[in-house]
Chains A and B, each alone.
Chain A
Amino acid sequence: MRKYVGIFFLFLVSCASIAPQDPVAIKNATDVRVEAEMLIDKATEPPEKHSQAISFLRLRAKQAYEYAKARNDNALSTRQWAIMIDEKRFLLGGFLFMWENKKQGFNRAFLDGVKKNVLGGLDEIIKLEKAKL
């Protein structure tokens, strides 16, 4: 009987499933990563000088979130994007909100830290997508 228990257990846990790997999702994340890196580098200047780029990046990130949300069995990636774009948190959405509200540029030391967190977070999104079968 014990021999069947192991097989049964495997089938039981197999109920958990995750969407297959999607090249579009990887492209969405890599595009946002490249654009985020370029824009954060420019955040030593006031946000007014980059308002168009800020809006564009926000739109790109929101589109990536909506794309993730529309896919079946994709709750984990959707949650990652939700954290990334949330203005009340501390990654891309939070940084753009902070910059616009400060109305002036940041120093390089702070931006290096922001870049580490935002790009590291986007790397996690890409890592999860690439891990999928």
Chain B
Amino acid sequence: MTNPVLIDVDALVDSMKEQLREIARKELGGYIGRLLADVNAFIVDAISDIRIWAIQLVAGQIDHMEFSFLIGGLSDRMTLHAISQTGAAIVTIQRIRNAVIDLIISSVIKVVLP
């Protein structure tokens, strides 16, 4: 009776280690950089909006009710922005998962079919 193909899991994981690190570095590094730049730009923009609306309120160009509505709108826009960021984080996780699955499949195939 012939032996089935035995896979040395430790050796397999060792061979994938560097590539796994590279996947994490590429995906997470890119994500964190984008996240920080995006949040920073949003905050700068929001502060600028509040400043403009406050000046318009003082100048009588908008009334208190309109000012409150605009601040409420900014708050809603921030919520939508936060939801987008959550989605981007999930997409990053999906991307990492896909890359890891691809790596495992290709590594196992290399061992089984040298």
Q: Mark B48-92, 1 if CB is under 8 A from A, else 0.
A: 010011001000011000100110111111011101101110110
Count residues of A near B (Cβ-Cβ below 8 Å).
41
How many cross-chain pairs have Cβ atoms below 8 Å apart between A and B?
113
- Asked if B32 is at the interface (CB within 8 A of a chain A CB), the reply is no
How many B residues touch the partner, as a band?
35 or more
* Contact present for A83 and B73 (CB under 8 Å): no
**B108 within 8 A of partner (CB):** no
State whether the Cβ of A34 lies closer than 8 Å to any Cβ in chain B.
no
Tell me the interface secondary structure of chain B in the complex.
helix
For residue A10, which residues in chain B have a CB less than 8 angstroms away from its CB? 96-97, 100
B interface residues (Cβ-Cβ under 8 A, vs A): 13-14, 17, 20, 49, 52-53, 56, 61-62, 66, 69-70, 72-77, 79-81, 83-84, 86-88, 90-91, 93-98, 100
Across the interface, which residues of A come within 8 angstroms of B94, CB to CB?
Answer: 14, 17-18, 133
